[in-house]
Structure 1
């Protein structure tokens, strides 16, 4: 890891006319040094190998400038995304050799699974915006993967890794071959990588209580607020069991002997408190995280090829192909009766006698009743997410014949096809058919469906399981066509040197198609929110120019301008002005200003009404605000929140005992072709000190300040924000009025349960962050070997979020919360190295600062604990066995550091910030022929 700077020796070497010109990320102008006015971090091939990861995303997310983006979960595709500065994966641009990589979703994000590690020589990261040079999306910066060049011979690389628990194996193998002749070169790499899944049950000690759900395998009767059982009958029944009274609106579960139990308080509960069930805070719950995958299973096959041919000394043609077949398997546990609750008629033959007694005591004894459960008799719902991604590029590059001007012109075609299969989907219509059948469904499938009690549920026949469940198939496809041409060289000479320039023109067209399964579109799939077909296309034409102007021998100014004409957003401009000053041979000062843009992507423009979920966690620290167990209701001494809950639809008869049954609800978002591009102002100022101490010590220090301010942020109204603001958790609705704009986004069902939050896309708020990046690179050569220290440190001074127009900004820096992005103020990655002859050792230390709980931002009296600082150490060794065989191996999480508990809730952590795998190892070998 090192900043992109020029050493004193490099500066001397610049005097040689034979020194090859290079292009530093952040500019399209080739030059004879690696000096850059923008902060650039370079991650080398050895660092990538030393992490032991099977994809480059995991490697890059070790760096403190990146925020980890979850790649697993319920049908999320296992994408490997990069997120610079925590501003979102849509706001950084991912390139391969300076060209855009194929997008993997309608949101325009790049799945770095398309990149085999075998072809990556190094990675250059420019932080702080680069839209004027590269176009839309480069708001927080650019990540440019640089491929191998001039490969000759055959290189074979193999690697195996696993956890010390032997439950998280990974495999990676590649073959790279190349040949170079007088006029041509050919480079081909094929690779295969697999990462096994990590299941919650494999980390039972930590996750045994993770996300306790009220949807349980025994099933529960959900009383209707407008048709409750008679309280006297309920009292008499539980007195007969030997217990006191329970409220008549409590969910009542079914013991295997036909008796009832109160889920709240676990009154008369006869089940066991083992593996699948827990008494959590006195209530019967079924923890979710031990049911499914914590990390997805992934299988990936990559092909990369490039062919160059010199047609003449002035013109070279090239062709490049990238092909990836990537499948991720995700699993989120048992299906539950959510997003379409089944009802059971009172004529169902399986209803136990005690439940019949209660049903008969209702005001309307013949009305069907609602039933909540987790379908534990069917296998857990899982998804196969298969991506086939292709990119083909053909181009010409060479000399124009005018002065020293060179050109590069190419056309590219990308295609990403995503086939999603949900296995073991439970169909509401089929379940309802069995419930409504006079014989309980026995005439439809053997035994029918008896949902009352765990033993009855688990005895469901294979025929009935097959009847109510099956697979769904959905497809989305993205296609991009692009034309680019770049000319660069010198314009004229000034006393201090040549004025260098580049000019470019490009055109891009993106097309998107999504076709969901019919059952999914009709909301017939339990626990998965409906999605509708959608399609759209958008194009952009751009012109850009860039100049480097030498003012003196030691000072230069850079400027760039880009005009982009979008089909729907119209014409927008991006520009920059920066400077680079070599104050001495050892000290360089750099800084600049950039105006960056991000145009709305296809999803934001065209998506049909698309369902998702908003998770608000468990009471008391989380939960649906009207739930009587929440801190909000406990603090409602005036009764104003209670009154709002009634006005929003919770029956007054049940509001004082209202319990929300789970930790999430549905959201519905849709596209908006009236959106305008986001605009960002980025400022950087820094310095680099590059020096030597004697003949055996080198030191490079860099410090850079950054500030990024984004206006007209495109976002769906955050579901959790709408819920909190409607219920005045942050003071947004002080009159507790149902006319509040956020309350208008919420819908409750007839029993008062929060069933939907509408989250439309608009140009809403603002994002602003500022901080400092530091890099240290030190090397000492002695007779005993070479010692080195490489450190990258990021300090976030502020991360201010203005969610909606008129809102006060909230500074999230230094906070973390359940299901929210962590914002540590300080993160660091430091490597201590030792190298002697054929052997090297590296101790890598990753530090994450302590954080307060996010709830403290809106409630200064919050008692929810934060997290302490976190330190993780890895040890890596390398040995050159022969000139053609190199061995490597390492131990990750050397001291087996446990993940930290988030929000003070057992079983809850941030799976991306803290190591949930535990101590693990890898071994690998590279062989050259």
Structure 2
């Protein structure tokens, strides 16, 4: 988008926002959504990007603070959905993820550098890990106990440890209070299909003449799932070739006789010749049809069945659970007691029971090695039996595929049981020196139940049985035709299915101590020092269901048992040196530095360090900057992860990259088609099938595996910027502040897996990586095909791969004016505007060392949007009694990722995306507050996302549509 067009859209949106406020002024809203952390009292500082409480509590790292009121104004029961609206965050795990038993975790991702490269804390202390890759599932945090969030958007590894390469997200617990607080919120879409509820009660009290304080909280949240059949955009999405009627898959080396095939179809009134390599389906009357071309197809075209592009397909979009359900119960307690005036004992516990239900499609497809049907099966229709007899090897069993439409929906319950205990002692040492030492232990148990898991071995037993399995379960298993496949008896459903149970356990033990205080006085203030020593131990174990480990479950990739542990001993030091103050154009000038040494049990020792400078030329302006060498050691998953299956969406060519061996792909129709054809044959696509080969579906399997030979990542991070707070006396300008920060992060030796689409593009020379079309190419070696040539898996081992580079600018603007100050009434009312704006200049990826960087700024792929511009702006009115506001969420237009990966075959991108929310609250009484909101006020729909097999990305864009929430808070 050119700058003129952008400015016009920005201005038109602003004008519209003010008009909507005037029209919608009915109730109230929360206060500012973010602010620069510059005013908290020293004893209240939890995270400032520093172990030292610097003068004026100013951080040299950019900090965005999100208030408790702003969190509630978002109307969510999941915190990641609130944070993802802010510039600087890229959607990661959330309600739209977790299909195929993916865990359903909610994670946060700063600058798009990965959810395992930012550190997530609660009151400055590490939260329990939720998976093998070191991610924290913020589903375990009920918003009822959260008093705000501080986000450090620059690197902080030297201060907080290697996980803080891209920043820190610190959730702050409510401050101690007296009495009882109850909070409840309900919400739903205007269509009535996405109900959300949260309720909490908290008790706060003091004891022992106010020397002790106690807070206890209990909460419950419930989020209804949203199915794809509730949104018309998914009606024809994912046109799968796996259909309920089932199909016969010819073997390229054992094809039926052409004359016999033509004769059969002639009996149906078809005069044209039928290609013997085509997949054939079964009508309920026993006749055959071609899936490609839909010749003689007599089945349904509604209710989950369709003829798309003249091909018989079963769109699975309506069957998908596009937003998963959540049930969460949380208990939290926090206490402190002053042993003496200088010593305080404190403790904290957290218990969470959270269950996320995930689905990836109701009717279950086949996946991996396909089962076969012997020619002795009694259910084989007569016409198919005639065709089978015409093959050169007439007695050979044949491959089939289909959907188990006679079996109930496949789904997963992902239950997380989390407990954390922390105890510590803090206080004064001597003079102004203070200390804080604590120990903590946490444990996460993830129980995964896969309901209605179809066992391949049991299916094969039924297919091989002389009576079709009738002696094993009532009626046996007849997959030929929709009517037969749908009438699977309850006994046979029970025979071929099970509830598969897998479990992973993670523990974390941590001990840390800090001391800080002044070394000596300088003319500009005290030189201060902070020292930290810590120990952390993480363990992991995974026990998959025995049938999952044996690849005996349809549509789920095998996963093996695994275990691993790492520990780290750390020492850190930070110094702050005030150099000048109260000089001309130098009201304050200081420098600082930090150093951290970490010794990891598996990968050895690493060091990180930081240097910073701050300069306040006048009281209203602070200029700040820092440099940091950050280091991230491999986590347990990257080191010890078992071979774990994931689904890789590759789409259907030519609209998407698909399987490049597919005759419809641009690789097979382009200038180098002959070389691609030869490469495909060398990889295992039968020569007899190569000229008619079509990959049967829109996704394949990726296999992720750990690597103990990994090296730590290294990064250079820079930030420079300023904070300006107005000192003007005019009421129109006195409450005006602006911060602008430039960040630059360069990571090398990146630990990652090669994206599946990248592997395909590089193997088949779609980006020039394999100009000789050699089957020995390193990327081609990651591909595995079955006997029919179908792309079965794409290997994705963890490796130190190339680099990541990103830079951009983050802007925060806050303005307000009291109406009484400008002569409008005499009350407490004020109007305000808050805006957080992010600009991404570059997002460069180097796939392998020595290869060129590719810039993905301004591009979009499923789950990884990288808009150049992103903004969240609030226009509002507030007073002591009520308020109202309009929030404007803006995301710039983006090209599809294929514009970079395969520029000769670039898919359509997405237009600029604007959402508006109207929110408010009203104080009914001193102890009773109501709040409400309408999100996606104008019912903006999902845009088309070419890189998604579903044609949409509900993790990035709003799939719910217009929705509402109503909440209340009562204090006693």
- Would you say same fold, with TM above 0.5? yes
**Deviation larger for 272-281 or 790-799:** 272-281
Secondary structure at 2:887's aligned position in 1? strand
Aligned-residue offset at 1:770: 0.4
> Do 1:621 and 1:631's aligned partners in 2 also have CA atoms closer than 8 Å?
no
> Do 1:292 and 1:380's aligned partners in 2 also have CA atoms closer than 8 Å?
no
2:299 maps to which of 264, 271, 274: 271
Aligned-residue offset at 1:662: 1.0
1:598 maps to which of 601, 611, 632: 632
Distance in 1 between residues matched to 2:950 and 2:130, nearest whole Å: 32
Secondary structure at 1:659's aligned position in 2? coil
> Do 1:208 and 1:275's aligned partners in 2 also have CA atoms closer than 8 Å?
no
Aligned-residue offset at 1:298: 0.3
Note if 1:804 corresponds to 2:848: yes
1:600-654 Cα shifts (integer Å, max 9, x gaps) = 1111111222222222111212211111112222224551111111111111111
Distance in 1 between residues matched to 2:674 and 2:82, nearest whole Å: 52
**Deviation larger for 747-756 or 888-897:** 747-756
Distance in 2 between residues matched to 1:70 and 1:228, nearest whole Å: 46
Distance in 1 between residues matched to 2:197 and 2:906, nearest whole Å: 44
Q: Which residue is equivalent to 1:511?
A: 539
1:48-92 Cα shifts (integer Å, max 9, x gaps) = 010011122111111111011143322112211000011110000
Secondary structure at 1:448's aligned position in 2? coil
Distance in 2 between residues matched to 1:236 and 1:286, nearest whole Å: 28
> Do 1:176 and 1:187's aligned partners in 2 also have CA atoms closer than 8 Å?
yes
Note if 1:48 corresponds to 2:71: yes
Equivalences for 1:648-687 in 2 at 5 Å? 648-687=683-722
Aligned-residue offset at 1:504: 0.4
Q: Which residue is equivalent to 1:372?
A: 401
1:224-243 Cα shifts (integer Å, max 9, x gaps) = 11111112222222222222
Gaps of 5+ in 2: 1-32, 582-587
Q: Which residue is equivalent to 1:694?
A: 729
Aligned-residue offset at 1:544: 0.3
Distance in 2 between residues matched to 1:586 and 1:304, nearest whole Å: 41
Distance 1:20 1:107, change over 3 A: closer
Q: Which residue is equivalent to 1:63?
A: 86
Q: Which residue is equivalent to 1:173?
A: 199
Q: Which residue is equivalent to 1:146?
A: 172
Aligned-residue offset at 1:106: 0.7
Q: Which residue is equivalent to 2:226?
A: 198
Distance in 2 between residues matched to 1:905 and 1:399, nearest whole Å: 56
Q: Which residue is equivalent to 2:750?
A: 713
Secondary structure at 1:354's aligned position in 2? helix
Distance in 1 between residues matched to 2:217 and 2:794, nearest whole Å: 47
> Do 1:568 and 1:674's aligned partners in 2 also have CA atoms closer than 8 Å?
no
1:4 maps to which of 24, 27, 36: 36
Aligned-residue offset at 1:246: 2.4
Distance in 1 between residues matched to 2:547 and 2:616, nearest whole Å: 65
Q: Which residue is equivalent to 1:83?
A: 109
Secondary structure at 1:875's aligned position in 2? strand
Note if 1:233 corresponds to 2:265: no
Aligned-residue offset at 1:904: 8.7
Q: Which residue is equivalent to 1:540?
A: 568
Q: Which residue is equivalent to 2:961?
A: 918
Distance in 2 between residues matched to 1:861 and 1:754, nearest whole Å: 23
Equivalences for 1:278-289 in 2 at 5 Å? 278-289=306-317
> Do 2:651 and 2:949's aligned partners in 1 also have CA atoms closer than 8 Å?
no
> Do 1:20 and 1:32's aligned partners in 2 also have CA atoms closer than 8 Å?
no
1:635 maps to which of 670, 678, 681: 670
Distance in 1 between residues matched to 2:728 and 2:316, nearest whole Å: 58
> Do 2:46 and 2:124's aligned partners in 1 also have CA atoms closer than 8 Å?
no
Normalised by the size of structure 2, how large is the TM-score? Answer: 0.93
Q: Which residue is equivalent to 1:389?
A: 418
Secondary structure at 2:364's aligned position in 1? coil
1:657-681 Cα shifts (integer Å, max 9, x gaps) = 1011111222222211121111111
> Do 1:337 and 1:526's aligned partners in 2 also have CA atoms closer than 8 Å?
yes
Q: Which residue is equivalent to 2:354?
A: 326
Aligned-residue offset at 1:310: 0.7
Distance 1:436 1:23, change over 3 A: closer
Distance in 2 between residues matched to 1:221 and 1:350, nearest whole Å: 13
What CA RMSD, in Å, does the superposition of the two structures yield over aligned residues?
1.5
1:250-303 Cα shifts (integer Å, max 9, x gaps) = 110000010111101111111121021111111111112211211111000111
1:674-720 Cα shifts (integer Å, max 9, x gaps) = 21111111000101110044353410111110000011111123222
Gaps of 5+ in 1: none
Q: Which residue is equivalent to 1:408?
A: 436
Aligned-residue offset at 1:403: 2.3
Secondary structure at 1:408's aligned position in 2? strand
Distance in 2 between residues matched to 1:419 and 1:20, nearest whole Å: 40
**Deviation larger for 112-121 or 842-851:** 112-121
> Do 2:623 and 2:722's aligned partners in 1 also have CA atoms closer than 8 Å?
yes
Aligned-residue offset at 1:169: 0.3
1:87-125 Cα shifts (integer Å, max 9, x gaps) = 110000001111111100010100001111111111110
> Do 2:738 and 2:812's aligned partners in 1 also have CA atoms closer than 8 Å?
yes
Secondary structure at 1:25's aligned position in 2? coil
> Do 1:264 and 1:283's aligned partners in 2 also have CA atoms closer than 8 Å?
yes
> Do 2:838 and 2:869's aligned partners in 1 also have CA atoms closer than 8 Å?
yes
Aligned-residue offset at 1:862: 2.9
> Do 2:46 and 2:123's aligned partners in 1 also have CA atoms closer than 8 Å?
no
**Deviation larger for 237-246 or 147-156:** 237-246
Distance 1:725 1:191, change over 3 A: same
Distance in 2 between residues matched to 1:650 and 1:904, nearest whole Å: 25
Equivalences for 1:460-859 in 2 at 5 Å? 460-553=488-581, 554-622=588-656, 623-636=658-671, 638-694=673-729, 696=731, 697-783=734-820, 784=824, 785-817=829-861, 819=862, 821-859=864-902
2:943 maps to which of 888, 896, 900: 900
1:695-746 Cα shifts (integer Å, max 9, x gaps) = 5341011111000001111112322222221111111111111111111111
Distance 1:308 1:517, change over 3 A: same
Normalised by the size of structure 1, how large is the TM-score? Answer: 0.97
Secondary structure at 1:431's aligned position in 2? helix
1:114 maps to which of 131, 137, 140: 140
Secondary structure at 1:290's aligned position in 2? helix
Q: Which residue is equivalent to 2:53?
A: 30
Distance in 1 between residues matched to 2:637 and 2:947, nearest whole Å: 36
Q: Which residue is equivalent to 2:910?
A: 867
Aligned-residue offset at 1:595: 1.1
2:390 maps to which of 339, 356, 361: 361
Aligned-residue offset at 1:906: 9.7
Distance in 2 between residues matched to 1:905 and 1:759, nearest whole Å: 20
Distance in 2 between residues matched to 1:889 and 1:75, nearest whole Å: 34
Distance 1:686 1:439, change over 3 A: same
Distance in 1 between residues matched to 2:516 and 2:671, nearest whole Å: 67
Distance in 1 between residues matched to 2:947 and 2:471, nearest whole Å: 50
Distance in 2 between residues matched to 1:824 and 1:748, nearest whole Å: 36
Distance in 1 between residues matched to 2:449 and 2:479, nearest whole Å: 27
Distance in 1 between residues matched to 2:944 and 2:704, nearest whole Å: 32
Aligned-residue offset at 1:31: 4.2
Distance in 2 between residues matched to 1:272 and 1:22, nearest whole Å: 64
Distance 1:20 1:485, change over 3 A: closer
1:424-457 Cα shifts (integer Å, max 9, x gaps) = 0000000000000000001111110111000011
**Deviation larger for 31-40 or 738-747:** 31-40
Secondary structure at 1:394's aligned position in 2? strand
> Do 2:517 and 2:528's aligned partners in 1 also have CA atoms closer than 8 Å?
yes
Distance in 2 between residues matched to 1:872 and 1:342, nearest whole Å: 48
